[in-house]
Amino acid sequence: MRLMRRSVVAIVLLAMGALGVAAPVRAQNPETLLPEQSAAKAKDLLQQALAALGGPAYLGVRDADCSARLSLFGHSGDLTGYDFIHDIWKFPDKNRTEYSKKGNVVDIYNGNQGWTLDRAGVAEASAVAVEDFQEQVKKDMDNLLRYRLKEEGMIFRYGGSDIVDLKQVEWVELVDRDRRTFRLALDGSTHLPVRYVVLTRNPSTRERTEEITYFSNYHVENGVQTPFQVTRERNGLKIFQAFYYGCKYNSGVSDDLFSRAALEKRWAETPKKKKK
């Protein structure tokens, strides 16, 4: 596999030369760097990524209001359908997702609490669902870049250069104190993230899980570079693919949206079918 990857890289670089495009300067070999040099290189690349994403505008995001069309996939990775979502965040751990154009199916998570609304009414989210949400927050790339880089025990490594989706990238690797491993592929020319890999291991079964998120079609929204196409895979199977219409940042989202009372209000306003 290593020889094959080197061959692909060589072909791409030769093609660039034939087109009159200068080949990138050979990056440092991460295996030759001392730990402190590797960490410094990784942190420098992360600062470039933060600047590319919008700098203070990106770091200053406190809430997000986005709309998208979602492609859904089953357990075998096959496409099962489409849905429209209205996704609202108040960072770091308040989320409200409304499904379908009517928005009568809603999931809300607020820290260690959660509720759901469907045609049967409002119900508490299961403990498993809340725990999964909290874990997803810890693994989320934006949460990592905005809030966790200065976290105690975080390890930084430079992962070297590579070709990803025919783009020259540089890899940065981070490991948190709970042994989650995060790997970011940063575009060599724009410095924007194009791929994000999270590796975790079940503490009981020791089974490893690999989640890969692909980012593309960036647009500037309120000064923030926003990927309008996001695809996620888990252990080689596609989970979802989102095509965004737009996002609004720092619009003053109210805390009241992320409460059971908000769902009870929506349920009371939802037209009910009359029983025959």
Token readout for 128 is 């498993």
Task: Give 229-253 pLDDT, tens digit per residue.
Answer: 999 999 999 989 999 999 999 999 9
Residue 4, pLDDT > 50, answer no
d(CA 107, CA 245): 20
Q: Please state the pTM of the whole predicted model.
A: 0.85
pLDDT at 2 over 70: no
For the stretch 180-224, pLDDT in tens is: 999 999 999 999 999 999 999 987 888 999 999 999 999 999 999
**Bond prior to 92 in cis (omega within 30° of 0):** yes
pLDDT, residue 1, reads 40
Per-residue model confidence as pLDDT tens digits over 44-65: 999 999 999 999 999 999 999 9
pLDDT digits (tens, 9 = 90+) for 220-231: 999 999 999 999
pLDDT at residue number 202: 84
- State which H helix or E strand residue 79 sits in: strand 79-90
Q: What is the mean pLDDT of residues 79-86?
A: 86
Domains present along the chain, CATH in parentheses: 35-269 (2.50.20.10)
102-112 residue pLDDT tens = 778 999 999 99
